[in-house]
Chains A and B, each alone.
Chain A
Amino acid sequence: MTELTLVQAVNRGLRVALSSDPDVLILGEDVGVNGGVFRATEGLQKEFGPERVIDTPLSETGIIGTAIGMALYGLKPVAEIQFMDFIYPAFDQIVSELAKMRYRSGGQYPCHVVVRAPYGGGIRGGLYHSQSTEAYFAHTAGLKVVIPSNPADAKGLLLTAIHDEDPVIFLEPKRIYRSLTGEVADGDYRVPFGKANVVVEGTDVSLFAYGAMVPPTVEAAQALLSEGISAEVVDLRTLVPLDEKAILASVEKTGRAVVVHEAARFCGFGGELSAILAEKAFYSLKAPIARVTGYDTPFPYALENSYLPNPARIAHAARAAARTQ
Chain B
Amino acid sequence: MSAGAGVVPLPYDAAMAGSLLGPEARAIALSAYRWMTLGRALDARMQGLQRQGRVGFYGAATGHEAVNVALGLATSPADWIVPGLREQLAALVRGHPLAAYAQHLFATDLDPARGRQMPCHPSARDVHYVSMSSVIGTQITHAVGIAAGLRARADPGVALGFFGDGATSANDFHAGLNFAAVYHLPVVFGCANNQWAISVPVERQTRSATLAAKGAAYGIPGERIDGTDFFRSYATLRDAIARARSGNGPTLIEFQVYRMTPHSSSDDPTRYQPRDWGARAASHDPVLRLEDWLRKNGQLDPELEGQIRIEAERQVREAVAEAESAPPPRPESLTEDVFVDSRPFVPERGE
Q: Pick the contact of B123 from A59, A89, A105, A144 — CB < 8 Å?
A: A105
Which of A127-147 touch B at CB < 8 Å?
141-142, 144
A195 at the B interface (CB under 8 A): no
B residues contacting the other copy or chain, number (CB 8 A): 45
Asked whether A110 lies within 8 Å of B340 as measured between CB atoms, the reply is: yes
Asked whether A70 lies within 8 Å of B133 as measured between CB atoms, the reply is: no
Asked whether B113 lies within 8 Å of A104 as measured between CB atoms, the reply is: yes
A107 at the B interface (CB under 8 A): yes
| Least CB distance, A294 to chain B, in whole angstroms | 29
| Least CB distance, A111 to chain B, in whole angstroms | 10
A272 at the B interface (CB under 8 A): no
Asked whether A65 lies within 8 Å of B140 as measured between CB atoms, the reply is: yes
A261 at the B interface (CB under 8 A): no
| Least CB distance, A142 to chain B, in whole angstroms | 6
Binary flags per residue of A263-300, CB closer than 8 Å to B gives 1, else 0: 00000000000000000000000000000000000000
Provide the residues of chain B in CB contact with A142, threshold 8 Å.
338-339
Asked whether B146 lies within 8 Å of A70 as measured between CB atoms, the reply is: yes
Q: Pick the contact of A65 from B117, B172, B336 — CB < 8 Å?
A: B172
Closest B-chain residue to A167, C-beta based?
A: B339
Provide the residues of chain B in CB contact with A104, threshold 8 Å.
113, 116-117, 121, 123, 131, 133
Asked whether B339 lies within 8 Å of A102 as measured between CB atoms, the reply is: yes
Query: When chains A and B are docked, how far (Å) is the Cα of A144 from the Cα of B341?
Result: 13
B145 at the A interface (CB under 8 A): yes
Asked whether A106 lies within 8 Å of B111 as measured between CB atoms, the reply is: yes
B337 at the A interface (CB under 8 A): yes
Closest A-chain residue to B122, C-beta based?
A: A105
Asked whether B149 lies within 8 Å of A73 as measured between CB atoms, the reply is: yes
Closest B-chain residue to A59, C-beta based?
A: B175
| Least CB distance, A9 to chain B, in whole angstroms | 26
B159 at the A interface (CB under 8 A): yes
Which of B108-157 touch A at CB < 8 Å?
111-114, 116-117, 121, 123-125, 130-131, 133, 135, 138, 140-150, 152-153
B315 at the A interface (CB under 8 A): no
Query: When chains A and B are docked, how far (Å) is the Cα of A57 from the Cα of B219?
Result: 14
Asked whether A93 lies within 8 Å of B141 as measured between CB atoms, the reply is: yes
Closest 6 CB pairs of A and B: A69-B145, A65-B141, A73-B149, A62-B175, A105-B123, A106-B114
29 A-B contact pairs sorted by A residue (CB < 8 Å): A25-B152, A56-B182, A59-B174, A59-B179, A62-B178, A65-B144, A65-B172, A67-B145, A69-B141, A69-B142, A70-B148, A72-B142, A72-B145, A73-B145, A73-B148, A92-B135, A92-B138, A92-B171, A96-B138, A97-B135, A102-B340, A104-B113, A104-B131, A106-B112, A107-B336, A107-B337, A108-B123, A108-B131, A142-B339
